[in-house]
C-alpha cells in the first residue's frame, strides 16, 4: 500500500457515487419543499412517509446502479 492507497478489501468510491448519494439524501427534502410551495401544506405523517419511500427507492436504485463499480478491487 503506497501513499494514499487503499487497504486491501476497502471499496472503491468515486466522485459520482458521492454525488448520487447526496442526491438520494437531499431529493426527498427538495421534493417536499417544492410540493409545499406549489400545492399546499402537508401533514407531518405524509412528510415522513414520503421521505422514507423516496429514500428507500433512491437507495435501491443507487445499489443496483453502482454495485459493480463500487465492488472491492481484485487482489
Query: Is the whole model's pTM more than 0.75, yes or no?
Result: no
How do residues 62-75 score in pLDDT, each as one tens digit? Answer: 888 777 665 555 55
**Predicted confidence (pLDDT) at residue 36 exceeds the cutoff of 60:** yes
Torsion, Cα 6 7 8 10, to 10 degrees, reads: -70
**CA–CA dist 45, 52 (Å, integer):** 11
**Predicted confidence (pLDDT) at residue 28 exceeds the cutoff of 60:** yes
Reference 65, options 21, 22, 10, 6; nearest CA is 21
Tally helices (H) and strands (E) across the chain: 2, 0
CB 51 within 8 A of CB 29: yes
Q: Among 11-15, 22-26, 41-45, which is the least confidently predicted range? A: 11-15
12 or 33, which is more confident: 33
Amino acid at each position: 500500500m503506497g501513499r494514499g492507497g487503499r487497504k486491501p478489501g476497502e471499496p472503491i468510491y468515486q466522485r459520482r457515487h458521492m454525488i448520487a448519494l447526496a442526491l438520494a439524501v437531499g431529493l426527498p427534502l427538495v421534493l417536499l419543499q417544492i410540493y409545499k410551495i406549489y400545492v399546499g401544506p402537508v401533514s407531518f405523517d405524509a412528510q415522513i412517509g414520503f421521505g422514507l419511500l423516496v429514500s428507500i427507492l433512491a437507495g435501491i436504485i443507487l445499489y443496483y446502479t453502482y454495485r459493480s463499480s463500487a465492488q472491492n478491487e481484485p487482489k
